[in-house]
Structure 1
Amino acid sequence: MPAHDVPTPSEPERRTPAPVPPGHFRLGRFLGVDVHVSRTWFLLAALIAVIMAPVVEEAEPGLGAWKYVAGLVIAVVYAFTILVHEAAHAVASRRYGYPVESITLHFLGGHTGVDGGPRSPGQELVMSIVGPLASLGVALVAWLLAQVLPDGLIGLVVDTLAWANLVIGIFNLLPGLPLDGGRVLKALVWGATRNEVRGTLVAGWAGRLVAVLTLFLPLAMDRWYDVPADVTSWAFAAILAAFIWTGATAAMQGARLRRTLPSLVARRLARRTLAVPADLPIAEAVRRAQEAEAGSIVTVDAEGRPVGIVNEAAVQATPEDRRPWVPSSAVARSLVPGMTLPVDIKGEELIRAITFLPAHEYLLVDPEGSIYGVLATADVDRAFRERHR
């Protein structure tokens, strides 16, 4: 990945498509961007099919088992609207000259991999708000169509589409990171104070508040819309709240690093890394890493391209008797765009990269693109503490 210089608008077309991470599938291209789907999306599709089956049966009686197929169709249509939301982010990012690596659909929605972060409050505002506005636009079009369509299966699909996009648009506008509305709040505070770090911290605290309130979403749905608060709704609320809290916390940590670590060089903090095939058993990968005195393990595909960073906590959580049979890819975090950084990145540029895509570890590559090592956020934090004792 280039060293985060602002690229020219034509650069995205010249870039080699990134390899598909393990656990993901390439669907094709949309508006010139690779579209990937995570395995977790299929779980969401199955969940939507089960939830919508009784509603489909009521709208179109007598379908039998086909009601589940109709539910899957609704899931696919919903996925396309998520794609529209993410494509809006991609178009805005390209408008400012930032290459877009891919769009990924997953259980909680989607993610647009952009190489580089906004360099002004205006860019931050536009790049973040276009996604929710696109969802609200789809909701409006679907609602208008629903007014002229007859009752039945097609009418149900369009009506569901309208409500789903209305919820997506409004929810994403909530003022807290990592939601789009949090980025809008960050942009506003950044513009008012001329301090990006302060904007991130304010939006991060707001994100934590949104996460706590999300835990009570089932109660609100039960009281105001007569939707029973069952185990599934509580579980989904907990997962969503954890996602928001983690994203907000990581963004705040990155902002603090940016404020306090202006002169750190990634090369000096890199952990020695061992590259292993993604299908190599965990036990053998750990043995080789210990033998090489490596502090991290990177999984590579058949062509030697890095695809993931093995998570130490996940390794420790895997029982020793299973490690000879579990592939390293099962305990590795996929390398999404933004997790690969040049080894000589430093100072403001390093902190900007960490802030833009919060993660526990990042892959460092040399100018030729070869693996140099792994940078852990914990090591960056430890270096700061040691410097300021």
Structure 2
Amino acid sequence: MTAMPALGDLLRDLAPQVLGALSRRHGQFDACEDAVQEALLAAIRRWPTGGVPEQPRAWLHTVATRALVDGWRADSARRRREAQVALDPADRAPVADDDALVLLFLCCHPVLSPPSQLALTLRAVGGLTTAEVAAAFLVPEDTMSQRIRRAKQRIRDAGARFTMPPPAERVGRLAVVLHVLYLIFNEGYTASAGPSLHRTDLTAEAIRLSRLLHRLLPGEPEVAGLLALMLLTHARRAARAAGDGSIVPLADQDRSRWDHTAIADGQALLTRTLGTGPIGPYQIQAAIAALHDEATTAEQTDWPQILALYSLLAEVNPGPVVTLSRAVALAMVHGPTAGLALLGTLGADERMAHTHRLEAVRAHLLELSGDLPAARDGYLRAARMTASLPEQRYLTRRAAQLRGS
């Protein structure tokens, strides 16, 4: 037995490798995924007391294969297949790195809804248990179990095989994979609900999977751009909250607490990437994040360049969230009235009806313009719209401070 490493990290690394090997050998992604989950639960029960086996991946592979055989034994229609597997030793071939890439593409199959893609990616590729995925989405474990089961059923019904999609589909599917990783990171960086501002388990997992994707597809500029964006953004995490957990806005953060190693890594990755292929939204957002990180003080932020990049982003990837961020940059360059005018174009956009961010940004720009009563009302409206307790407290406090101004 080997010394006990960080068990959770080890299992998250091994789970997609074992699942990839089983799926490549036997097909039946849904059955293989269930078998791997059984093996992971067995490891969680046994390894803390008995120690990690000398070959932990082989151990998981063997236990998962036995679980597959047990499942086939229960189905009389598969007895012949069971006999064939029983006579053939378990596949001990090294797991190909490409297996993890195939898993990512499979979990982001277009027949699945975005929430199902997120959940299946976290469980099958991220190695999280159903309970952990359920906690990430703030739903009961039974609900998440049913969602994952339906997702695997839809993949099976679609006739998907454990292979990379054909080249004609790959570009579009890669965009979905990147979007899923982007959403996982965003939910971890600013949790949409609950008592904590961050979900470090999700941000760490998104970065880990993006590193893996970049290693497997080093020539894809947008893959590198997404990884750079995550590193440059996550570098500020330690300074985003005060000791009591309250939110610290970017302009007020102690920049000495930023992770400057991560910033340097993100900047180097972005420098190597820009100009190597078509510019995409993740590269542009990474460039914006780099400009924020390069400023030693809030006053030194290059807002004109940031505004130019947001204008480019609005051409490449238009949408209300981009417009929202562009309005802030516009206000910083040309004054809050200009920013408020741009925000006015979002009033009828139904996509912004269920988020507090439009009200929060409008309140901020109203405060900058000197209209404190309207700003206070806006902060309070935004506070009522968010399910995040740290954001509720921050917005309510901002409103209270303006009441006394």
Q: Do these two structures clear the TM 0.5 threshold for a shared fold by scoring above it?
A: no
Which structure would you say has the larger Rg?
2
Q: Give the TM-score of the pair, scaled to structure 1.
A: 0.28
Question: TM-score w.r.t. structure 2 length?
Answer: 0.27
Higher helix share: 2
Higher RCO (C-alpha 8 Å, min separation 6): 1
